[in-house]
Amino acid sequence: MEELEAVELRFKQLQAQLCDRWQAIETIDTAHSDILVIPSFSVDQEELQKIDGFLHYEERLLFSLIRLRDPQTRLIYVTSQPLPPIVIDYYLQLLPGIPFSHARDRLLLLPIYDQSLKPLSQKILERPRLLERIRQSLRPGHSYMICFNSTPLEREISVKLDIPLLAADPALLHLGTKSGSRQVFAECGIPHPDGSELVWDTEALIDAAVALWQRQPGLERIVIKLNEGFSGEGNALLNLREVGRVESVEQRQQIIRDRLPQLTFESATESWSHFRERIPQLGAIVEAFIEGEVKCSPSVQGQITPNGQVEILSTHDQILGGPNHQIYLGCRFPADEAYRLQLQELGLKVGQNLAKKAF
């Protein structure tokens, strides 16, 4: 416990350094930083197995190579497996006014040749010599780290290397879960599907589904989501169609209990027996399934700077697939102009809510 408290205290001290340096970091003429990129997909390993080609998620932070447009910035990019040279070349050729060779000389790629399911951050922490090599490559007082998602693993790397992390404190990690997102939406007054709070066992799940069905007697389907699932792979559908007249809570309970083994899963490898075991481990929620032939799934992206400012960066429309169109496949940028501005306004509300929790 004392060791954890020491890590948390040092992490907060490092984050304060980042806040003091933020204006310089954001100014292209004065950035001059060493940036450590750890694109670790630090999530539950069993859920990770549901994602085809999950290691390619490590390429999602390649946009950070744009920082090499500053001729005095250096970047270290760590991956589980080597990145294709043609991909790196593509990104570097996009830099305005910077010769390709100049940018490439300031980019250090560190593949660790480990394709296991463990999060990349865990793999790094298990390799002291790699950590030392990274440390020797960073300029003290002029370095910071970015990551895919911020967990205690990334916080530990930050403290071990004694550099700040441009990400949220892992103490706020729960706000990115299904139940945490519903909480924030409710606090912001943002419309979202009727549903439940977090539950931790099958009986509580049945009770939550019954309560939802009671509130919406005409409900045709209910979505059950593992709280820490991602990309839609942790979702399942409970079918309530063609159940006939239902008059009592007890009848609803029995119908749901009988139909749970017949859930339709988004993941082709999932089963009710395994899904049920995951509920006490990850938690779950239920939500009303929004019916309709044509549906849009827009998203807004933003950032909260280290000094607490909220900035909207972009919008897009998600492209969804899977048995019931709940699995994220990609996106179209920007979002449809019919609701793009409204989306930005809602995103700003969420950002301001999260900023209050972080500062």
Computed over every residue of the chain, the mean pLDDT equals 90
Among residues 233, 242, 204, 208, the alpha carbon closest in space to that of 222 is found at 208
What is the model's pLDDT at position 294?
84
Torsion of CA 14, 16, 19, 22, to 10 degrees: -30
Task: Express as a percent the part of the chain with pLDDT over 70.
Answer: 95
Q: Residue ranges per domain, the chain?
A: 2-167, 178-288, 294-358
Q: Which helix (H) or strand (E) holds 129?
A: helix 128-137
Listing DSSP states for 199-251 in one string gives: B-SHHHHHHHHHHHHHH-TT--EEEEEETT--TTTTEEEEE-TT-----SHHH
Q: What is the pLDDT of residues 294-347, one digit of tens each?
A: 889 999 999 999 989 999 999 999 998 878 777 788 889 999 999 999 999 999
Given a cut of 60, whether residue 255 has pLDDT beyond it is: yes
Among 119-128, 133-142, 242-251, which is the least confidently predicted range?
A: 242-251
Q: Sort strands 310-321 and 298-304 into parallel, antiparallel or unpaired.
A: antiparallel
Contacts of 298 (CB under 8 A, 6+ apart): 315, 316, 317, 318, 335, 336, 339, 343
pLDDT in tens, 163-221: 999 998 999 999 999 999 999 999 999 999 999 999 999 999 999 999 999 999 999 99
Tell which residue, 215, 185, 131, has the closest CA to residue 300: 185
What are the b/e assignments for 21-47, b being 16+ CB within 10 Å? bbeebeeeeebbbbbbbbbbbbbbeeb
Q: Cα 13 to chain center, whole Å? A: 25
Rounded to whole angstroms, the Cα distance separating 223 from 265 reads: 10
Confidence of residue 51 (pLDDT cuts 50, 70, 90): low
Beta bridge partners, 143, equal 34
Residue 194's alpha-carbon distances to 168, 197, 216, 249, 320, in angstroms, are: 28, 10, 9, 18, 21
Domain 2-167: give its CATH code: 3.40.50
* Confidence (pLDDT) at 48: 67
Strand-pairing partners, residue 162, are none
Contact between 9 and 49 under an 8 Å Cβ cutoff? The reply is no
CA 167 to chain centre: 12
